């Protein structure tokens, strides 16, 4: 299914939309079957997704147009993607307008509503259990290095604190391509869930990149050096760089630099170096047949026993066990 076919499919008037055109302002009968709970002074519909996600890990739905979506919450993680037009949401009492290409990631149990959706407003919702979202994709992305791990940590902390995250994507072509590709597989009569999950990994990777560009650059010290730039520098030079050399590169006192890293990453300089070295070990274990002693040497650990100890402390398994496990994924 190509992009043009997907576009045609998404713009077709569905039976639900025909109902709303014929009955303006009237709720669909399905709402009589959805339980409601009381939150403060509001009655909130609660969507469980138990039946939809009983045998699936991802559900993709096009929201019905020509109507609004009343205050509700759901027990799963939801990603809203504005395929076309715009979408006005009220989340925790805050009004937010999303435009074409924008994404809103909503944590579980976050009350929100969507104002009336018009003909050109194509809103896609991607729902998945929280464990599948966090333990699967974000864990895989965070194993790619200290920058990715920092971004994932920030994303998870942000989500738990604010309950939603907005991604202003400037209608990213790469993100749109990945979403259309996932839709094509999702709507295929012989859909393959593993392919869908792979596209979801790409989509989340794109969102992390956008998050990095739009949000993490706001973390500055008085010399206006973004923390993400510092972490990237450490990751690029992890084999030879010392704390003093890194501090000198950015014009900082070594003690101040060390405290600054700890404040914004929760890790010391030494811990960040170890994270990067072990992520490289994971790469070699997964993608090469190099002996483990050679991998240890490759990432800068001459003491094989120390390498084994740190690897097991970090990943809960020995390097060979990790390699064997990756072959089954």
Instruction: Compute the average pLDDT of residues 33-58.
Output: 90
Q: Is the pLDDT assigned to residue 275 strictly greater than 50?
A: yes
pLDDT at 285: 93
Residue 111: strand, helix, or coil: coil
Question: Quick one: which H or E segment has residue 156?
Answer: helix 146-162
Name the phi and psi angles at 78, rounded to 5.
-130, 135
Q: Are residues 308 and 160 in the same domain?
A: no
Question: pLDDT confidence of 144, banded at 50, 70, 90?
Answer: low
Q: Are residues 79 and 6 in the same domain?
A: yes
23-32 own/partner pairs: CB under 8 Å, 24+ apart: 24/66, 27/70, 28/64, 28/67, 31/70
Question: Quick one: which H or E segment has residue 254?
Answer: helix 254-265
Query: Which of 158, 190, 218 is a domain's end point?
Result: 218
Q: Are residues 214 and 230 in the same domain?
A: no
Report the alpha-carbon distance of residue 43 to residue 275 in Å, rounded: 46
Q: Are residues 7 and 146 in the same domain?
A: yes
Q: How high does pLDDT run on average in the chain? A: 87
Q: Are residues 61 and 154 in the same domain?
A: yes
Residues 160, 220 contacting (CB under 8 angstroms): no
Q: Are residues 204 and 230 in the same domain?
A: no
Q: Which residues contact 158 (CB under 8 A, 6 or more apart)?
A: 165
Instruction: Compute the average pLDDT of residues 185-194.
Output: 94
Q: Is the pLDDT assigned to residue 239 strictly greater than 60?
A: yes
64-78, 86-100, 225-239, 271-285: least confident range: 225-239
Model pTM score: 0.71
The CATH number assigned to the domain holding 279 equals 1.10.10.60
pLDDT at 160: 47
Question: pLDDT confidence of 223, banded at 50, 70, 90?
Answer: very low
Label residue 276 exposed, middle or buried (CB < 10 Å: 0-12, 13-18, 19+): buried
Q: Are residues 156 and 55 in the same domain?
A: yes
Higher-confidence position of 164 and 6? 6
Q: Are residues 256 and 183 in the same domain?
A: no
CA atoms within a 13 Å half-sphere pointing along the CA-CB vector of 33? 4
CB atoms within 10 A of CB 4: 8
Question: pLDDT confidence of 207, banded at 50, 70, 90?
Answer: confident
Query: Which of 179, 195, 218 is a domain's end point?
Result: 218
Report the alpha-carbon distance of residue 250 to residue 244 in Å, rounded: 10
Label residue 105 exposed, middle or buried (CB < 10 Å: 0-12, 13-18, 19+): buried
Report the alpha-carbon distance of residue 206 to residue 22 in Å, rounded: 40
Report the alpha-carbon distance of residue 240 to residue 273 in Å, rounded: 10
Higher-confidence position of 131 and 27? 27
Q: Considering its fold, how many domains does the chain have in total? A: 2
CB atoms within 10 A of CB 51: 7
- Please report, in angstroms and rounded to a whole number, the separation of the first and last CA atoms in the chain: 27
pLDDT at 20: 96
Question: pLDDT confidence of 40, banded at 50, 70, 90?
Answer: confident
**Domain span at 206:** 1-218
Q: Are residues 260 and 118 in the same domain?
A: no
pLDDT at 219: 44
Question: pLDDT confidence of 134, banded at 50, 70, 90?
Answer: low
Q: Are residues 138 and 172 in the same domain?
A: yes
Highest mean pLDDT among 140-149, 154-163, 237-246: 237-246
The CATH number assigned to the domain holding 107 equals 2.60.120.10
Q: Are residues 129 and 185 in the same domain?
A: yes
Question: pLDDT confidence of 116, banded at 50, 70, 90?
Answer: very high
* Concatenated DSSP letters of 89-108: EEETTEEEEEETT-EEEE-T
pLDDT at 59: 95
Higher-confidence position of 136 and 290? 290
Instruction: Compute the average pLDDT of residues 94-123.
Output: 93
Query: Which of 218, 240, 269 is a domain's end point?
Result: 218
Higher-confidence position of 306 and 92? 306
Q: Are residues 188 and 230 in the same domain?
A: no
Question: pLDDT confidence of 106, banded at 50, 70, 90?
Answer: confident
């Amino acid at each position: 299914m190509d992009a043009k076919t997907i576009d045609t499919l998404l713009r077709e008037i569905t039976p639900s939309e025909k109902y709303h055109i014929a009955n303006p302002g009237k709720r669909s009968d399905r709402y009589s079957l959805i339980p409601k709970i009381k939150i403060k002074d509001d009655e909130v519909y609660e969507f469980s997704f138990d039946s939809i996600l009983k045998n699936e890990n991802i559900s993709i739905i096009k929201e019905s147009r020509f109507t609004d979506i009343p205050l509700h919450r759901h027990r799963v993680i939801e990603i809203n993607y504005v395929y076309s037009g715009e979408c006005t949401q009220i989340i925790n009492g805050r009004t937010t307008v999303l435009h074409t290409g924008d994404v809103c990631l909503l944590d579980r149990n976050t009350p929100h509503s969507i104002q009336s959706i018009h003909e050109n407003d194509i809103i896609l919702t991607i729902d998945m259990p929280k464990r599948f979202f966090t333990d699967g994709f974000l864990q895989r992305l965070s194993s790619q290095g200290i920058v990715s791990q920092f971004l994932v940590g920030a994303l998870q902390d942000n989500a738990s604190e604010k309950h939603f995250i907005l991604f202003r994507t400037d209608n990213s072509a790469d993100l749109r391509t990945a979403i259309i590709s996932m839709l094509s597989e999702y709507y295929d009569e012989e859909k393959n869930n593993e392919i869908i999950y792979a596209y979801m990994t790409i989509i989340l990777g794109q969102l992390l990149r956008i998050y990095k560009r739009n949000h993490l650059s706001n973390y500055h010290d008085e010399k206006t050096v973004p923390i993400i730039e510092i972490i990237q520098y450490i990751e690029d030079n992890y084999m030879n760089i010392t704390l003093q050399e890194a501090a000198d590169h950015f014009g900082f006192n070594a003690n101040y630099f060390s405290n600054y890293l700890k404040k914004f990453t929760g890790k010391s300089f030494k811990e960040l170096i170890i994270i990067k070295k072990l992520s490289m070990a994971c790469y070699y274990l997964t993608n090469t047949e190099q002996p483990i002693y050679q991998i240890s040497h490759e990432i800068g650990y001459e003491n094989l026993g120390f390498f084994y100890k740190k690897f097991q402390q970090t990943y809960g398994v020995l390097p060979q066990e990790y390699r064997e496990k990756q072959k089954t994924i």
